[in-house]
Amino acid sequence: MKLNMPNGIRAQHRVSAAWAIFPMGFATALSLMGDVTLYTVLPTRFADAGIALGFVGVILSINRLIRLFTNNAMGWFFDRLPNRRAIFLGSLALGVITTTMYATSVDLPPLLLARLLWGLAWSGIWVGGNALVLEMAPEAQRGQWVGILQMWFFLGSALASFTGGALTDAVGYRGALWVGAGISAFGALVALLALVTRRAEHRPMPPIARARDSFWTSIRAISPAMWAAVTAQGVNRLAAAGVVSGTLGLIVQQTFGTGLQIGAAQIGIASLSGVLLGSRTLISVVGAPIAGRMSDRAGGRWKLLVIALFVGAIGTALLPAQNFVVLIFGTIISALAYGATQALSTALVGDLAKKEEYGKNLGIYNTSGDLGSAIGPLVAYALLPITGLPALYVGCGAVMLAMATWAIKFKS
């Protein structure tokens, strides 16, 4: 049953939500500096990190593999604790620590440990942040509010891609990561100062529901529609955050060689990779909130999800064409689809889940996304010597088309 709030209360609710979402989104965006810098530069600067090329896929995947376990644990805690700000803020602090560990690691073991700790930190940041937004958002504006948080995520990824690549060329691999740690620390400080004085209302799960709840009962209770939304995120992340983010530097290297000469200036591969990855995420900044708002107004998130997956499949398959115009076109349409798919599938979780179980369902949802993004670099670097980049990207497009075909079943 829907409750009709007076206009004044509804307006006050929107203002409170905006005050909470801004510091959360800002800190979430800046927390990505270290992680995205590694994705941008590690495929071509692996020697600076003290590792061999064969371990690049492992380093870019291990933080996501650990989240297959930590996402559900964080969702469990967020559904039960009356004050969840401490987990969110603590996770931001841990993210700063991991970026400093990237900067100081000189061989494989400490870098692996840092990536594992970042996986734990991101579970607290992202599962908790999305659960808070779904809880605060008015039902009629759920897609819009989810799109705003996704916008911050993509904005942070873009900032890290641009600055991480440029700083690496300017001050070196380790210098760039030290700067990134400082930027992430600033974001965490902003969130701390803002959230210590503001708190979203939260009602923990009833005691009976707690006693009966478990991971496996949660899995068995998932509806076919929820499975489709969860899997859509997994497929989306497999292609965009796994294969494309992990190998786009190789496409840039194949297309531009040692760099791009503009007049007397030589733009390095790391900078070019950062520009392209940053452009993708900036475009996703536009796609996520627009798709969320459109789905609120149209009342048909499934239809938009099918379109987004179809467009994403085409754009992804075009990326390794080694043609500048085709590369730009594929980047634009695949990035728009990536942002739209992530926003729409997250909003669908809010539509399909009970409010007191947002944390649990978002834990499962993000585990699917992390599984896809973790498998992506591992599969990509394992298959590259056999298939080459074009076949790998066409395969990603085929998987997205298959997901779009499944999602058609649920469109209304």
Chain segment 247-293, per-residue pLDDT in tens: 887 887 777 766 555 656 666 766 777 777 778 878 887 888 888 88
For residue 208, the model assigns a pLDDT of 40
Answer yes or no: pTM beyond 0.75.
Answer: no
Q: Kindly state whether residue 2 falls inside one of the protein's structural domains.
A: no
Instruction: Find, among 382, 399, 397, 341, the residue nearest to 147 by Cα.
Output: 341
Instruction: Find, among 28, 215, 37, the residue nearest to 133 by Cα.
Output: 28
Q: Which range marks the domain in which residue 300 is found?
A: 14-410
In the chain, the number of structural domains is 1
Number of neighbouring beta carbons within 10 Å of residue 109:
9
pLDDT at 336 over 90: yes
Q: Kindly state whether residue 195 falls inside one of the protein's structural domains.
A: yes
Tens-digit pLDDT profile for residues 34-69: 998 898 888 778 888 888 887 887 888 788 788 888
Tens-digit pLDDT profile for residues 377-405: 888 888 888 988 889 999 999 999 999 99
Assign residue 274 the CATH number of its domain. 1.20.1250.20
392: which residues sit within 8 A by CB, 6+ positions away? 243, 247, 320, 380, 383, 384
Q: Kindly state whether residue 379 falls inside one of the protein's structural domains.
A: yes
Q: Kindly state whether residue 5 falls inside one of the protein's structural domains.
A: no
**Residue 144 C-beta-side C-alpha neighbours within 13 Å:** 15
69: which residues sit within 8 A by CB, 6+ positions away? none
Q: Kindly state whether residue 30 falls inside one of the protein's structural domains.
A: yes
Q: How many Å apart are CA 12 and CA 387, to the nearest integer?
A: 56
311: which residues sit within 8 A by CB, 6+ positions away? 333, 334, 336, 337
CA 166, 278, 250, 126 torsion: positive or negative?
positive
Q: Kindly state whether residue 309 falls inside one of the protein's structural domains.
A: yes
* Tokens coding 150: 């996704």
Confidence band for 10, pLDDT divided at 50, 70 and 90? very low
What is the average per-residue pLDDT within 202-225? 57
Q: Kindly state whether residue 308 falls inside one of the protein's structural domains.
A: yes
Instruction: Find, among 311, 319, 363, the residue nearest to 338 by Cα.
Output: 311
Q: How many Å apart are CA 153 and CA 269, to the nearest integer?
A: 24
Tens-digit pLDDT profile for residues 54-111: 788 788 878 878 888 898 888 878 777 766 678 888 899 999 999 999 999 888 999 9
Q: Kindly state whether residue 3 falls inside one of the protein's structural domains.
A: no
